Structure 1
Amino acid sequence: MTPAHPQTAAGEPKPSLAVLIAISTVSPVAMQIYLPSLAGMMAVFSATAGEIQLSMSAFFISVAVSQLFWGPLSDLFGRRPVIIIGMALFVVGSIFCLLAPSIEWLIAARVIQAAGGCTGLVLGRAIVRDLYGPRQAASMIGYVTMGLAVMPALAPAMGGVLDQFYGWRGGFFLMLIFGVGVLWASVYRLPETHKTRVAVTARQVLQSYLRLFREPLYWGYALTATFSALTYFAYLGGAPFIAAGLMSMTAAEMGFYFMFVALGYMAGNFLSGKYAERVGMFPMVLAGTLISGLAVVLVAGFTLFEALTPASLFLPMFVLGLGNGVCLPSALSGAVSVRPDLAGSASGLTASLQVATGAVAGSLVARLYADGFLAGSPWAMIWIMAAGVGAGLIAAVAIRLVSTRREMVPAE
């Protein structure tokens, strides 16, 4: 059977926006859909809260590490075969999750699921960069990530409904169906966009990253994206504790307010899709970082004047989501555009930096909130968020300083 693909003006096949969103969404949805089932899984597996939490931590670690390899492999073998292998691994991991007889089995299955699913997350950006120039790529990434934000925002609610009717396996069964569908789309609706074919060795993979390490402009974009993620994960690491401990909010109430963050992120990505190609990447990166800083200032002000309420804690996070949505598409597009021949490696490294730094930030906020002189105080979250915004601004300014010394200036 010959795959049918949309055609570009030049007659070259091009994946549809729906396919790019689907392959990019698999991993984020799998991260969150089983959250409502965690308490029930403790009873089913006779596990401690720490053991159940490890199934989530292992997922994040697997995503961070795997992305470092999938990117270079896609540069050497092409995007399509790597994504097909990844989606097949995701399906296998989902089957193992459904069959898990113990928490140890489930943790191992989640590692496989994460390692496979993250191929779409990291290579979706590289595919966009294969097809478009730097400015247009920023716009397209904005549209992709706007669509990508919808399903993860709804995933916990879907997981809760499935758990109510089918138990903890309900969410994993849905992910199995989703994974099979995306695997089919990868085989029959995803053309190759990266034409280079060379033999792959461990030395070549290492050399890909070494070449990136010597690109200051790459680091400007990558660190801006990383610190933007740090600010967001710091909020995720602190807001639930603050809401439950200081405001006695229920899980249902928190779920409602968390939607505002997703809405802000979607709005920011819409603005990126609409304006990034017109105004350029650097203005979008700088504007997004400054908008995120405004969110931190608002929360700090409400806390300082003892006016922190559910609305004043969560609604400024709409502004944070907006800032991330404006900044990240252009920062990610810039990171993969500095060396187009290493777009997969750049995308994988940047995504790994985001996940790893964000996970550390969330854990640090949780620890500071639990222990030390900031215990029980919103300032544990606020100071880490402020540090992320400050570091992001420095990285954004570095983009401008470095790009002025280059003949090709993608940060216009």
Structure 2
Amino acid sequence: MAQKISTPSLLLFIILVGFPQISETIYTPSLPDIAEQLHASGNSIQLTLSIYFFGFAVGVFCWGRLSDAIGRRPSLLWGIVVYGIGSIGCYLSPSVEWLLVSRFIQAFGASTGSVVTQTILRESIATDKRHGMFAQISAALAFTPAIGPLIGGWMDQWLGFRAVFMTLVVMSIAIFAYTWRSLPETSAASAITKISTLAVAKRMLTDGCVWAFGILIGVTNGILFSYYAEAPFIFIDFFQMSPGWFGFFGIFVALSSIIGAMASKRMLQSYAAEKIIMIGCLIAAVGALFLVGLALNGLQPTLVHMALMVIGIFILLLGVGMAIPNCLSLALVRYGDVLGTAGAVFGLGYYLLVSLITSGMSFLHNESLLTMPVYFLVLTTMMVVVSKSLQIRSN
């Protein structure tokens, strides 16, 4: 007789998927300050975001594979411990090299919150409810990248950037305690399984839909976190915002992703998920084109020009918010028999793409206001092409 799969609470899902995003963005208002304090260039400091996603990609593979072997709960708890160790390393960093290594360790541990939590969600929530659940979580998670800069901005302004990393150390302890108390093991992962990673990888590499979803998820997340990498240099350095107000400003920007995710959930009543993904990609491309037009016309450090840039970013992230939850929900529907390993392989691929895209933003960083919009226009154009091919496959 099959055991009933335990279902964690929605709040726990949000916390476990959300803390890696907070960790990614909480120190972004501090980037100019960190560059100055550690005597590093803006390009090298932005690489601390890229290395985070590289560590995340490696961690997603390892923890996803391990969750099939020892269970979801132990994998999450050990991952949070590693995350805490990395956070301590960030706090103690005397140089940018030390910070890069610590960010890798931090991300390696944090990745368990993404891959293992998504695996639990996919195996414990019925298919007819899963799209809506992903949309709810995506709407809530739209706040997490914004909460990070809000907390980090004021912490940096009043206490310095090291206090920001100490906040993550404390957070790791609190999340470990809450997970230990609240996370059940799922029956699907309660027994050790022997699954060939190579066989699963070969199966996925020949699946065109997996490639399409991986590219869309990687590019949308790459755009989101490239924005958080570049935005401090635009709004703090060019528009002369304080780090604290830049953090507060992030909440307004996050509303676009929230509205996009909630619109996606409502549209599921009338449209197929693939159609909604296509609409989201088109909206994101319109936002990127709007930003390019602004930059070409010559931005000035005025309130009006800053408001116009916010509108463009709002449109761009609105489209991203519509596309992401549907991509996450549909990506592995044909891999229910090997969810942990499939999630590991899939996550490795798309987080490597996120790392590549954020590295591209770091490489291109040159204090020009045109660089980010053009980069995003190229990426969103790619999204439109891929989403169109996905829609054709689904018909």
Residues in 2 aligned to 1:173 and 1:99: alpha-carbon distance in whole angstroms: 9
1:169 equivalent in alignment to 2:165: no
1:293 equivalent in alignment to 2:289: no
Q: Which of the residues 260, 269, 272 maps onto 2:261?
A: 269
1:71 maps to 64
Residues in 2 aligned to 1:234 and 1:53: alpha-carbon distance in whole angstroms: 9
CA RMSD across the alignment: 3.2
Q: CA deviation at 1:147?
A: 1.7
Q: Which of the residues 387, 403, 412 maps onto 2:394?
A: 403
Unaligned runs of 5+ in 1: 1-9, 405-412
Q: CA deviation at 1:366?
A: 5.4
Residues in 2 aligned to 1:168 and 1:305: alpha-carbon distance in whole angstroms: 35
1:385 equivalent in alignment to 2:376: yes
Deviates more, 1:71-80 or 1:281-290: 71-80
Deviates more, 1:101-110 or 1:69-78: 101-110
Identify if the C-alpha distance between structure 1 residues 235 and 65 changes in structure 2 by more than 3 Å, giving closer, same or farther.
same
2:330 maps to 334
Q: Equivalent residues in 2 for 1:111-190 (5 A)?
A: 111-190=104-183
Identify if the C-alpha distance between structure 1 residues 18 and 256 changes in structure 2 by more than 3 Å, giving closer, same or farther.
closer
Helix, strand or coil at the partner of 1:292: helix
2:19 maps to 26
Residues in 2 aligned to 1:104 and 1:368: alpha-carbon distance in whole angstroms: 20
Query: After superposition, what is the alpha-carbon deviation per residue over 1:379-411, rounded to whole angstroms, capped at 9, x for unaligned?
Result: x4333322222222222222233334xxxxxxx
Deviates more, 1:82-91 or 1:152-161: 152-161
Residues in 1 aligned to 2:378 and 2:96: alpha-carbon distance in whole angstroms: 36
Query: After superposition, what is the alpha-carbon deviation per residue over 1:60-91, rounded to whole angstroms, capped at 9, x for unaligned?
Result: 32112221222233234432221111112112
Q: Do the aligned residues in 2 keep the contact of 1:230 with 1:354 (CA within 8 Å)?
A: no
Q: Do the aligned residues in 2 keep the contact of 1:257 with 1:314 (CA within 8 Å)?
A: no
Identify if the C-alpha distance between structure 1 residues 311 and 109 changes in structure 2 by more than 3 Å, giving closer, same or farther.
same
Residues in 2 aligned to 1:282 and 1:141: alpha-carbon distance in whole angstroms: 15
- Structure 1: which amino acid aligns with 2:385? I
Q: Do the aligned residues in 2 keep the contact of 1:61 with 1:356 (CA within 8 Å)?
A: yes
Q: CA deviation at 1:54?
A: 4.9
- Structure 1: which amino acid aligns with 2:383? G
Q: CA deviation at 1:21?
A: 0.8
- Structure 2: which amino acid aligns with 1:216? G
- Structure 1: which amino acid aligns with 2:384? L
Query: After superposition, what is the alpha-carbon deviation per residue over 1:235-279, rounded to whole angstroms, capped at 9, x for unaligned?
Result: 55655555578x544355655554443110111122234443664
Q: Do the aligned residues in 1 keep the contact of 2:226 with 2:358 (CA within 8 Å)?
A: yes
Identify if the C-alpha distance between structure 1 residues 363 and 155 changes in structure 2 by more than 3 Å, giving closer, same or farther.
same
Report how many aligned residue pairs link the two structures.
386
Q: CA deviation at 1:23?
A: 1.0
Query: After superposition, what is the alpha-carbon deviation per residue over 1:218-249, rounded to whole angstroms, capped at 9, x for unaligned?
Result: 2222222223334445555655555578x544
- Structure 2: which amino acid aligns with 1:325? G
Q: Which of the residues 201, 220, 226 maps onto 1:228?
A: 220
Residues in 2 aligned to 1:376 and 1:43: alpha-carbon distance in whole angstroms: 20
Q: Equivalent residues in 2 for 1:174-213 (5 A)?
A: 174-193=167-186, 195-196=188-189, 197-200=191-194, 204-213=196-205
Helix, strand or coil at the partner of 1:228: helix
Residues in 1 aligned to 2:125 and 2:169: alpha-carbon distance in whole angstroms: 32
Aligned-pair identity in percent equals 26
Residues in 2 aligned to 1:376 and 1:39: alpha-carbon distance in whole angstroms: 16
Q: CA deviation at 1:291?
A: 1.6
Unaligned runs of 5+ in 2: none
Identify if the C-alpha distance between structure 1 residues 161 and 219 changes in structure 2 by more than 3 Å, giving closer, same or farther.
same
2:276 maps to 284
Query: After superposition, what is the alpha-carbon deviation per residue over 1:349-384, rounded to whole angstroms, capped at 9, x for unaligned?
Result: 4444444334433443554563xxxx9462x43333
Q: TM-score, normalised by structure 2?
A: 0.84
1:217 equivalent in alignment to 2:209: yes
Residues in 2 aligned to 1:394 and 1:41: alpha-carbon distance in whole angstroms: 38
1:87 equivalent in alignment to 2:85: no
